[in-house]
Structure 1
Amino acid sequence: MINTQKDSLFIRAAQSQPTERPPVWMMRQAGRFMKEYWEIKNKYSFLEMCKTPEIAADVTMLPVDLLDIDAAILFSDILVTGEAMGGDLSFNQGVGPKFANPVRTKADIDNLNVDCLGQLQYVADAIKVIQQRLNGKIPLIGFAGAPFTVMSYLVEGGSSKDFKLTKLMLHNEPEMAHQLLSKIAKVTTDYLNMQIAAGVNAVQVFDSWAMALSWDDYKEFSHRYISEIIAGLNRQDIPVISFCKGSSVFAPLMAEAKPDVISIDWNADLLDIKKRLPQGIAVQGNFDPHILYADKKVIKERIHRLFERMKGENGFIFNLGHGIMPDIPFDNVKYAVDVIKEYK
C-alpha cells in the first residue's frame, strides 16, 4: 500500500520532483460548500460522521468523485486527539467545538490519558475503507492537529478570538503548558504513526491558531513540539506537510522541523518564500479562498498568475491559504480545479 502512490502527481510534488503541472487539493475540500455533504450531515451528528468508517469514507470520497482532485484527505477533525485523551467534546451548529471539561489546572493535565490509541481505532478503520474505495487512484492524506492548536481548544473549552486563557498559561505557568503540550505531542505522534500504518500516503499537521503567537512563543510552545512529532514519524516514503496560519511569517522556523512540504497562507509571495526555504522543501498554497467567490474569469486569471509566478519550480502543490468557506459556490470550486488541470 505505502509505495503505490509514489508516481502520483501529488507525491512527486511533495517530494520536490518535477511534475507536468501542479497537483491540486484543497483544505476542507469535503465539506459544507457541497449539497452532497449536507445530505449526509443532515442525517448524522458531526462526531458520528467522523466515528463511522463507512460515513467518513463517503465524505472523504465526495471531492474525489465530484471535483476530480489529485489527493484525498481523510474526513475527521483535529480535536479527536483531545477527546481521546479525556476531553468531553461536542459540536453544535453555529457554535463549533466545545470541551465541557476544560483543562486549566495541573490536576486536569495529570488526568489526561496519553495511552489512548484504542479510542482512535475508528480512524484507522476509516483509512482502510477509504483506501479500498480509492483503489490506488490517488493518494490519501492523513492529518492531526498540532499541539498548540489542540491545547488552545482544551484550555479555552472551545474556539476563542483572543486565546487569553491559553496565553495566560503559557506566560504564567510555562511548566504546566509544557507538560500539557508534551502529552498532546506524544499522542499526536502515536496517532499519525497509526494512520501511516493503516495506509495513508502522506500526513499534514494543522496548527490552525499559530498566528496568535509571537515569534518567541511560537518557537517555544509550538515549533518545538512539531519538530518532536515530525522526528518521531515513520515517514519512509510518506511526505509530511506542515501547515499553520501564520506560515508566511514562521516558514523559516517551520523548515527547521524538517517537513517535506510547508503550506503557506495567502499573505506572502509564494515564490519568495520558496526561494528562502532550504532546497528540497516543497510549498503548498497559497491561493486566497475568497477569490473563489469571484467571477470565473477572475478565478482563472488569478490561478494563472500564481502558476506563472511558480513556473519552473519543482515542489509546488496548489492549495488554498486556508480552508474553503461554506458558502463558496460549488461551481466555482469545480471550475478552479478544471482550470488547474488544463494548465500547460
Structure 2
Amino acid sequence: MSAIDRPSGQQTKTYESAFMKACRREPVPHTPVWFMRQAGRSLPEYLKAREGIPMLESCMRPELVTEITLQPVRRHKVDAAIYFSDIVVPLKAIGLDLDIKPGVGPVVAEPVRTRADLARLRDLTPDDVWYVTEAMGLLTAELGQTPLIGFAGAPFTLASYLVEGGPSRNHEHTKAMMYGDPQLWADLLDRLADITAAFLKVQIEAGASAVQLFDSWVGALSPADYRRSVQPASAKVFDAVAGYGVPRIHFGVGTGELLGAMGEAGADVVGVDWRVPLDEAARRVGPGKALQGNLDPAVLFAPPSAVEAKADEVLAAAAGLEGHVFNLGHGVLPSMDPDALSRLVAYVHERTAG
C-alpha cells in the first residue's frame, strides 16, 4: 500500500482536494494547478510586503511568511499553496555563515571542502526552525481544505552551494570532490540528507499536506553519476518521510535524462521541466508515479491565445497519465504578468472540468 493512502492529523482536511487526488493518481474534478515560485516577485503585493526586509529575515517572520504564502492563493485561485522560504534556510538555522545576496543568490562565507568542514554541519532540531512550525500553524488554519506544500533543497543542490560557496555554472569544486574524494562526498550528502529530512519532518508535523524536494542543479550530472553519487542521499530523504502519509514530489531542472533515476529515488510525483513532453516523461519515469508540469515559463509572455494553445499541448500530452498536477516547467519569472497566471489557472480548470 502506498504511503499516501494513510492520511493523519492536519492533512485529513485536504485529503479529498484535487491536488492530493492527483498526487495519489486518483480521478480528479479538474486538473489541479499551482506554480513554483508562485509567491514571489511577480506579485506587487509581495514586493510591498517584503519592502526593506532581507530575504532570509523574511523567511523567519511567521506572520510575513503566512501573508506571502497566501497571496497567490487569493489572487490566482491555485489548488495548492507552497510554503514561502528558501532552500538554504535549514543551513542558516544550524549556524552556517551564509546570506542571500540580491541578484546573486546564496553565498557561503566558508565553503565546505574538507573533512574537518563536515563538523560544522550539525543536526537540525525543531527549535532551530521554530518560525516554520509557527507559520505552518497559521497557514493551515487560514487555508482550510487547500493543501500546503512544504519543501526543501535536495542534498546535491545544497552540497553544490556549500562546496562552491554560491551559485555555479559548471560546479567545478562540487564535481572535483565527487570524483576526487568520493567518500567525503558521500559523507557530505549523507549529512545533508539527515538535515533535509529533519526539515521536512518539521513541516509535515506542523501541517504540510505534501512536500517537494527541489534539486535545482542536478541536471548538471550524467545518469550514471546521479545514480552512483546522488540518488542514495535523495532516496534517504524520501524514505525518512515515507511514513507520514503525505505525497512526496521530486523536481529538478534540465533532468530529462535523469527522470527514470529520479523516479527510482522514491517520490510519489516526479516534476518535469518544459524540455520533455509529459507522455515521453511518463515512459522515462515508468509506472506508478504521478507527474507534475510542465509549461515553459516563457510562454506566459506570449498573447493569451498562444498561452492557451501551449497549455492545451501540455494537457494533451498528459491525457493518458493516471495523475497530473499542472505546473510550469520551472519557477515563475519575476517580470511575469500576474494576470497571465490567473488566466492560466482558470483556463486549465475550465478545460479539464468534469
Secondary structure in structure 1 of the residue aligned to 2:230: helix
Q: Distance in 2 between matches of 1:119 and 1:325?
A: 31
Deviations 1:175-223 (A, max 9, x none): 1111111111011111111111111000000000001112222112221
One-letter amino acid of the counterpart of residue 202, structure 1: A
1:253 corresponds to 2:261: yes
Secondary structure in structure 2 of the residue aligned to 1:219: helix
Aligned residue in 2 for 1:63: 72
Q: Distance in 2 between matches of 1:280 and 1:178?
A: 29
1:10–1:331 distance in 2 versus 1, CA, 3 Å: same
1:317 corresponds to 2:307: no
Aligned residue in 2 for 1:114: 123
Aligned residue in 2 for 1:221: 229
Deviations 1:148-180 (A, max 9, x none): 000111111111111111111111111111111
Aligned residue in 2 for 1:340: 348
1:230 corresponds to 2:238: yes
Are the equivalent residues in 1 in contact too, given 2:212–2:249 (CA < 8 A)? yes
Which residues in structure 2 correspond to 1:1-344 (within 5 Å)? 1-134=10-143, 136-344=144-352
Query: Which stretch shifts more, 18-27 or 115-124?
Result: 115-124
Deviations 1:277-330 (A, max 9, x none): 343210000111010111111001111122123225320000111101111111
Secondary structure in structure 1 of the residue aligned to 2:48: helix
Query: Which stretch shifts more, 269-278 or 87-96?
Result: 269-278
Are the equivalent residues in 2 in contact too, given 1:84–1:116 (CA < 8 A)? no
Please report how far the alpha carbon of residue 86 of structure 1 lies from its aligned counterpart in structure 2 after TM superposition. 3.0
Q: Distance in 1 between matches of 2:256 and 2:90?
A: 27
Are the equivalent residues in 2 in contact too, given 1:28–1:323 (CA < 8 A)? yes
Please report how far the alpha carbon of residue 263 of structure 1 lies from its aligned counterpart in structure 2 after TM superposition. 0.3
- C-alpha root-mean-square deviation of aligned residues, in Å? 1.4
Please report how far the alpha carbon of residue 42 of structure 1 lies from its aligned counterpart in structure 2 after TM superposition. 1.1
One-letter amino acid of the counterpart of residue 8, structure 1: S
1:106–1:149 distance in 2 versus 1, CA, 3 Å: same
Structure 2 gap segments, 5+ residues each? 1-9
Query: Which stretch shifts more, 45-54 or 8-17?
Result: 45-54
One-letter amino acid of the counterpart of residue 115, structure 2: K
Normalising by the residue count of structure 2, what TM-score does the alignment of the two structures yield? 0.93
Q: Distance in 2 between matches of 1:169 and 1:311?
A: 43
Are the equivalent residues in 1 in contact too, given 2:204–2:244 (CA < 8 A)? no
Are the equivalent residues in 1 in contact too, given 2:124–2:199 (CA < 8 A)? no
Are the equivalent residues in 2 in contact too, given 1:303–1:340 (CA < 8 A)? yes
Secondary structure in structure 2 of the residue aligned to 1:286: strand
Are the equivalent residues in 1 in contact too, given 2:279–2:320 (CA < 8 A)? no
Q: Distance in 2 between matches of 1:114 and 1:333?
A: 39
Q: Distance in 1 between matches of 2:177 and 2:272?
A: 28
Sequence identity (%):
38
Q: Distance in 1 between matches of 2:98 and 2:124?
A: 18
Are the equivalent residues in 2 in contact too, given 1:87–1:154 (CA < 8 A)? no
Secondary structure in structure 2 of the residue aligned to 1:343: helix
Secondary structure in structure 2 of the residue aligned to 1:69: coil
One-letter amino acid of the counterpart of residue 139, structure 1: P
Please report how far the alpha carbon of residue 12 of structure 1 lies from its aligned counterpart in structure 2 after TM superposition. 0.1
Please report how far the alpha carbon of residue 236 of structure 1 lies from its aligned counterpart in structure 2 after TM superposition. 3.7
Aligned residue in 1 for 2:6: none
Structure 1 gap segments, 5+ residues each? none
